[in-house]
A and B are shown apart, each in its own frame.
Chain A
């Protein structure tokens, strides 16, 4: 039986790297994104490199009404789902434009949570499956530099935690993995001056995801150093934190 992975947000660097990593392991791949037809060359790449079957699926994470149909129309309910949907926006604009702020909140939290609700319930009915949510260390503490994005990711992280708890408690056979990548060299971070030791390549994130799925891990930091960094940041007292610029 050939396992299947569904990658939502397949155009993102992490999403595509994950698709490649699973394809290399022999998974059939469902690529979902907006304007999915333009992923034709990526489909050819996966097919040529790994000789797996690949299908393309249109998805708008913000269009909640379409989510039930999106999942129902998949050629099969996947074994693994990786959700790499996300949108950072620009903090300055997120602070003033309510539309921009709502867009960031919905893209990082509401949309992925909606999709995972539909997928989790179907997987629970089947009795198996793994959901991988790409959240962010930015959700571990709200910072002036990106609290809109961070708060949406905080919401998503809490959602994943609760969903994992529910699915485990009810012995559904469905597992949830929370991935906290830290900095990653992607289109989203292009042009940012990122510290090399804290910054992962998308392929590294993808390998970490694959391993986490195989080992049924709950929460993973891609680079272990982030665990220490975030522990320190979480423990700074608020009266100090509010004056800091980190």
Chain B
């Protein structure tokens, strides 16, 4: 069937198998002639979870197997979504320790992409809260891997984009919370320098992220709304919030009903939206209590929002620039984006903390992420942006990527050579490939 990532670009005709348990995964793998990739809930944007020869749809492995209320450790199969964990455990006072901007990612996908969230500067990435992973390897054996057992395989699997084997189940730690409410503080920043200064000055905040206007130029270049967040404690809540403090009542969802025509999003509409959004943010600056969905997952409220980019789909650019070069790198990127006139209103800036891992995306510095509708000249724009990021020592988030070339990936991330060497040595390159790994020669 025709499959794509969240960006709806590229699309590929893939043979799909949907196993329901670990045995069925093994059977599908041994029946396969060529290589394969496991796919979670399809939230990687590009071609990370596409393999025309065989894509394993892991959503059939969706069982939550155990929970320890003393430690907050949950054992779950790879296809369980963060949304399932929140639905199940928030009422008991637990929340994912790290969450990306959508709760519709699977545990397997979260590990494979080693996702990060708004607390990266304080708590690191998802992988830091994984206690163990069961992996089906190229040899058909299932291995329990952790920091003490099969530690090499464990380390490579976190951020390994599913290329070290099939993640079957994992133990992950949740964090205790007193409520599902977030105390959000919005700080307007009229330009990039102020935005970065606000991030640096608020390193003690649990969560921090900024919406950034990528089309603003001149003195307003990089104007942002920096949003800090803390899990609200009981003392923070008013009577209304306290009445359903762990959010047990279901709330509704909106869906984008149709694909927007390509002209719906253009430089003019985005520019006006951004100006209005910034003005509104500035007016409403200050502290407010908002529910976790609105804080962490504003876009999840609009199911299938990816359709606003029309049939051609979109690509997301996300890089991280090391701290020392962040200001210069971001300035150069914003300049190029503004000149292109193409940036979307969904642009995010975030300060990342120190991370030491084999192949994961994050490093200490600033990450910038934004969408571009797929057009004929999009690859050229990506080449330009990627070159700027590389010049400033930056690297790219493979979970978002559909545009990199082998050369740019290697130039951006010297760890790639060790990753491919590990793949060759363990025989995983013969069994596990995605369109992305083929494109980048991973």
Q: Do A and B bind each other?
A: yes
Interface of A toward B, CB cutoff 8 Å: 41-42, 44-45, 48-49, 187, 190
Interface string of B83-97 (1 = CB under 8 A from A): 010001000000000
Size class of the contact patch on chain B: 10 to 19
How many A-B contacts are there with CB distance less than 8 Å?
A: 24
Minimum CB–CB distance for B329 against chain A, Å: 44
A residues near B311, Cβ cutoff 8 Å: none
Which residue on chain A has the smallest CB distance to residue B64? A48
**Contact pick for B64, options A49, A187, A190, CB 8 Å:** A49
B residues near A190, Cβ cutoff 8 Å: 18
Would you call B63 an interface residue if the criterion is a C-beta within 8 Å of the partner chain's C-beta atoms? yes
Would you call B302 an interface residue if the criterion is a C-beta within 8 Å of the partner chain's C-beta atoms? no
Contact A48 B66 (CB under 8 A): yes
Interface string of B20-31 (1 = CB under 8 A from A): 110000000000
B residues near A42, Cβ cutoff 8 Å: 63
Supply 19 further A-B pairs (C-beta < 8 A) apart from A44-B64, A187-B18.
Answer: A41-B21, A41-B63, A41-B65, A41-B77, A42-B63, A44-B63, A44-B65, A44-B66, A45-B62, A45-B63, A45-B65, A48-B64, A48-B66, A48-B88, A49-B64, A49-B84, A49-B88, A187-B20, A190-B18
Contact B18 A48 (CB under 8 A): no
Would you call B295 an interface residue if the criterion is a C-beta within 8 Å of the partner chain's C-beta atoms? no
Cα A41 to Cα B65 in complex, Å, equals 6
Would you call B297 an interface residue if the criterion is a C-beta within 8 Å of the partner chain's C-beta atoms? no
B residues near A49, Cβ cutoff 8 Å: 64, 84, 88
Which residue on chain A has the smallest CB distance to residue B92? A51
A residues near B382, Cβ cutoff 8 Å: none
Q: In this complex, which of A42, A44, A45 has the most chain B Cβ atoms within 10 angstroms of its Cβ?
A: A45
Contact A48 B20 (CB under 8 A): no
Would you call B305 an interface residue if the criterion is a C-beta within 8 Å of the partner chain's C-beta atoms? no
Interface of B toward A, CB cutoff 8 Å: 18, 20-21, 62-67, 77, 84, 88
- What are 24 residue pairs bridging A and B, where the CB atoms are less than 8 Å apart in the complex? A41-B21, A41-B63, A41-B65, A41-B77, A42-B63, A44-B63, A44-B64, A44-B65, A44-B66, A45-B62, A45-B63, A45-B64, A45-B65, A48-B64, A48-B65, A48-B66, A48-B67, A48-B88, A49-B64, A49-B84, A49-B88, A187-B18, A187-B20, A190-B18
Minimum CB–CB distance for A106 against chain B, Å: 25
B residues near A48, Cβ cutoff 8 Å: 64-67, 88
Cα A42 to Cα B88 in complex, Å, equals 15
Minimum CB–CB distance for A213 against chain B, Å: 19
A residues near B63, Cβ cutoff 8 Å: 41-42, 44-45
Cα A114 to Cα B18 in complex, Å, equals 33
Cα A26 to Cα B77 in complex, Å, equals 23
Which residue on chain A has the smallest CB distance to residue B85? A49
Which residue on chain A has the smallest CB distance to residue B23? A38
Minimum CB–CB distance for B169 against chain A, Å: 9
Cα A190 to Cα B16 in complex, Å, equals 10
